[in-house]
């Protein structure tokens, strides 16, 4: 458990450090180092879990099992690569006069604050603390959405704050109901511990748990960006600084889904019905289709990709809702590949917007001619997210389709339709942006595309072959979630 404590300590030190630092020139680099140490801690944690299996800390406050261990490493990895991207990017924004030193301090401090909240959501064993940390993530990011202090960004941040705050309050009501069901069978202080609840799930009152799950799904679903609770998401993504969009899409949405799946495991154990699954399937499918359709109407490049996030989160929610070993396995894989691809895309999009000096897609032209690395990065990223082979997104989407065909054959039709619509929606916008002549006077910017290449290479690797330790974790997690093995 030492690495988990270390992880939380580092990020906590990070918040305080950036709050009071005087090294204003090197904050970007220092942020990279903080995240590098965090990644080191998570890898250490992962090796421990690999060698000894599930780890439960002394007072059962923290739990790391095969379901969350890879998400923890993924969080730290994307946190690191995004911080590598963010250092020169934020420097550039400062040169453009959009930011001051003090706001950069706030940015880096809250970057660590957000990472702390994410690690806490993932490692905690207490459903109540999970809620507190999830709300903490909103609070940490809300001032980052309005970092540029433009009227639009303040509007987006207000919307984000109110919608997510009210939404997540529903999840707290769900948690209270869960606790209410739990104190009827056990003692008070341990009654919110997930490991205890899971062990005694079949004794929990099914009526109460059903109502609780509805609230938990709506609450955390607001954070996942499930339609119709998604309104904050495109605004927050498009108006905040780009590194924030990358971590919001890559990490926050995943972790909210993680919370829902953890809750679903309890409810399934208690009710022995498919109620939770059906709810997730319908919300997921709706989000998937609406997200795909809205791709066509976007003008802003970051809004475009935030709708793509809604679409993919919908697909994952659907997959976990279908349940069964194959769909769950696919859902876990899709969480990984989507995070990697989407954060890579947002990094490229950030550079593309700096090249063109705007986020409006009709003004972004000729990226390949101006700066081939950015143009190709965006194109390959889009190909990957649209679900083309040989990238990992193809593998996971294919598995979802396969599982759906097996369990609910009719639902394959809307899924295929959605994938087609999304593909068209993405490419009608991306094609003219990357190809074609460059506008006069468009200059390349200083860009570090190492994170993008690294992410896309990993997604490619996952599409071709899943390394055995990861496959092992995925199948263990699948057994844990769905009760049967995928292999």
- Minimum CB distance to other proteins, residue 207 (Å): 4
Q: Which lies closer to other proteins via its Cβ, residue 13 or residue 211?
A: 211
Options 30, 55, 169, 402; binder of other proteins; rule CB under 8 A: 169
Site for other proteins contains 195 (CB under 8 A): no
Of 176 and 411, nearer to other proteins (C-beta) is 176
- Find out whether 386 and 341 touch, Cβ atoms under 8 Å: no
Least separation in angstroms between residue 130's CB and other proteins is: 10
Answer for which of 299, 406, 428, 446 binds other proteins (CB under 8 A) is 299
Query: Which CB, 307 or 474, lies closer to other proteins?
Result: 307
CB of 59 to other proteins, least distance (A): 10
Select the residue interacting with other proteins from 1, 36, 56, 176 (CB under 8 A).
176
Please, which residue, 143 or 460, has the CB nearer to other proteins? Answer: 143
Q: Residue 108: how many CA atoms within 13 Å on its side-chain side? A: 35
Span near other proteins by CB under 8 A; candidates 41-49, 154-162, 459-467, 478-486: 154-162
Q: Closest approach of Cβ 219 to other proteins, in Å?
A: 11
The distance of closest approach from Cβ of residue 167 to other proteins in the complex, given in angstroms and rounded to an integer, is: 10
End-to-end CA distance of the chain: 30
Q: Is 128 in the site for other proteins (CB under 8 A)?
A: yes
Residues 130-149 that bind other proteins (CB under 8 A): 131-133, 135-136, 139, 142-143, 146, 149
> CA separation (Å) from 138 to 81, 223, 235, 317?
21, 9, 14, 21
Q: Is 64 helix (H, G, I), strand (E, B) or coil?
A: strand
> Using CB under 8 A, which of the segments 30-38, 157-165, 342-350, 448-456 binds other proteins?
157-165
How far is residue 216's CA from residue 214's CA, in Å, rounded to a whole number?
Answer: 6
Name the residue nearer to other proteins (CB basis): 183 or 487: 183
Tokens 């809004």 locate to: 303
Judged by CB under 8 A, the number of residues near other proteins is 51
| Nearer CB in complex with other proteins: 61/480 | 61
Kindly tell me which residue out of 60, 92, 94, 159 binds other proteins, with binding defined by CB under 8 A.
159
Q: What is the 3-state secondary structure (H, E, C) of 399-433?
A: HHHHHHHHHCHHHHHHHHHHHHHHHHHHHHHHHHH
Residue 86's Cβ-side half-sphere holds a number of Cα atoms within 13 Å equal to 29
3-state helix, strand, coil in the chain (%, to 5): 80, 0, 20
Question: In whole angstroms, how close is the CB of 195 to other proteins at the nearest point?
Answer: 15
Structure tokens at 253: 């949405």
Going by C-alpha positions, the residue among 34, 35, 8, 264 that lies closest to residue 136 is 8
Helix (H, G, I), strand (E, B) or coil at 198: helix
CB-nearer residue toward other proteins: 173 or 461: 173
The single residue listed with the structure tokens 């009227």 is 151
The greatest distance separating any two alpha carbons of the chain, rounded to the nearest whole angstrom, comes to 71
CB of 305 to other proteins, least distance (A): 15
Per-residue contact string for residues 256-295; x = within reach of other proteins by CB under 8 A: --------------------------------------x-
- 188 lies in the site for other proteins, by CB under 8 A: yes
Question: Of 30, 55, 56, 208, which one interacts with other proteins (CB under 8 A)?
Answer: 208
Backbone phi and psi for residue 457, each to the nearest 5 degrees, phi listed first:
-65, -40
Cβ closer to other proteins: 131 or 329? 131
Per the CB < 8 A criterion, the answer to whether 167 and 229 are in contact is yes
Contact 131, 263 (CB under 8 A): no
* Residue 129 lies near other proteins (rule: CB under 8 A): yes
Please give the Cα distance from 420 to 466 (Å, whole number). 26
To the nearest whole angstrom, how small is the minimum distance from the Cβ of residue 145 to other proteins? 11
From 153-161, 194-202, 334-342, 409-417, span contacting other proteins (CB under 8 A): 153-161
Question: How many CA within 13 A on the CB side of residue 306?
Answer: 29
User: How many CB atoms neighbour CB 407 within 10 A?
Assistant: 15
Residue choice 297, 406, 428, 446 for contact with other proteins (CB under 8 A)? 297
Token pair in block for residue 56: 């439960």
Provide Rg for the chain, Cα atoms: 21
Q: Give the DSSP letter string of 380-391.
A: HHHHHHTT-TTS
Q: How many CB atoms sit inside 10 A of residue 435's CB? A: 14
Residues numbered 69 to 88 that lie near other proteins (CB under 8 A) are: none
* CA 94 – CA 66 distance, rounded (Å): 41
Which residues make up the interface to other proteins (CB under 8 A)? 126, 128-129, 131-133, 135-136, 139, 142-143, 146, 149-152, 154-159, 161-162, 165-166, 169-170, 172-173, 176-177, 179-180, 183-184, 188-189, 191-192, 205, 207-208, 210-211, 235, 238-239, 294, 297, 299
């Amino acid at each position: 458990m030492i690495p988990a404590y270390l992880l939380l300590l580092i990020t906590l030190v990070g918040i305080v450090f950036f709050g009071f630092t005087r090294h204003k020139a090197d904050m970007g680099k220092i942020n990279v180092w903080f995240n590098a140490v965090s990644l080191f801690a998570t890898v250490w944690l992962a090796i421990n879990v690999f060698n000894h299996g599930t780890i439960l800390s002394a007072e059962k406050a923290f739990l790391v099992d095969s379901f969350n261990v890879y998400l923890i490493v993924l969080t730290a990895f994307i946190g690191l690569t995004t911080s590598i991207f963010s250092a020169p990017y934020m420097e550039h924004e400062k040169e453009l006069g959009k930011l001051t030193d003090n706001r950069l301090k706030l940015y880096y401090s809250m970057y660590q604050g957000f990472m702390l909240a994410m690690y806490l959501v993932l490692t905690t064993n207490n459903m109540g603390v999970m809620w507190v940390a999830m709300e903490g993530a909103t609070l940490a990011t809300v001032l980052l959405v309005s970092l540029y202090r433009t009227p639009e960004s303040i509007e987006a941040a207000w919307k984000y704050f109110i919608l997510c705050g009210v939404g997540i309050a529903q999840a707290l009501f769900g948690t209270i109901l869960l606790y209410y069901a739990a104190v009827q069978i056990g003692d008070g202080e341990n009654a919110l511990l997930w490991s205890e609840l899971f062990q005694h799930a079949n004794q929990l009152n099914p009526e109460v748990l059903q109502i609780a799950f509805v609230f938990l799904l709506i609450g955390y679903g607001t954070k996942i960006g499930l339609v119709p609770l998604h309104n904050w998401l495109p605004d927050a993504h498009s108006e905040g600084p780009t590194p924030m969009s990358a971590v919001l899409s890559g990490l926050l949405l995943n972790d909210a889904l993680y919370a829902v799946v953890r809750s679903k495991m309890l409810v399934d154990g208690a009710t022995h019905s498919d109620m939770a699954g059906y709810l997730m399937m319908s919300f997921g499918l709706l989000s998937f289709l609406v997200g795909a359709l809205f791709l066509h109407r976007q003008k802003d490049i970051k809004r475009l990709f935030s709708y793509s996030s809604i679409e993919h989160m919908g697909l994952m929610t659907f997959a976990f809702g279908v349940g069964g070993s194959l769909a769950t396995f696919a859902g876990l894989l899709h969480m990984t590949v989507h995070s990697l691809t989407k954060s890579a895309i947002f990094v490229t999009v950030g550079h593309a917007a700096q090249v063109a000096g705007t986020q409006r897609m009709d003004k972004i032209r000729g990226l390949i001619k101006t700066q081939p690395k950015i143009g190709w990065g965006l194109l390959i990223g889009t190909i990957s997210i649209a679900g083309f082979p040989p990238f990992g997104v193809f593998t996971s989407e294919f598995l979802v389709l396969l599982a759906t065909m097996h369990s609910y054959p009719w639902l394959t039709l809307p899924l295929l339709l959605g994938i087609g619509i999304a593909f068209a929606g993405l490419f009608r916008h991306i094609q003219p942006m990357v190809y074609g002549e460059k506008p006069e006077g468009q200059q390349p910017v200083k860009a570090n595309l190492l994170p993008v290449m690294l992410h896309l290479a990993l997604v490619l690797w996952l599409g071709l072959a899943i390394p055995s330790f990861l496959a092992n974790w995925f199948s263990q997690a699948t057994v844990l979630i769905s009760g049967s093995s995928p292999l």
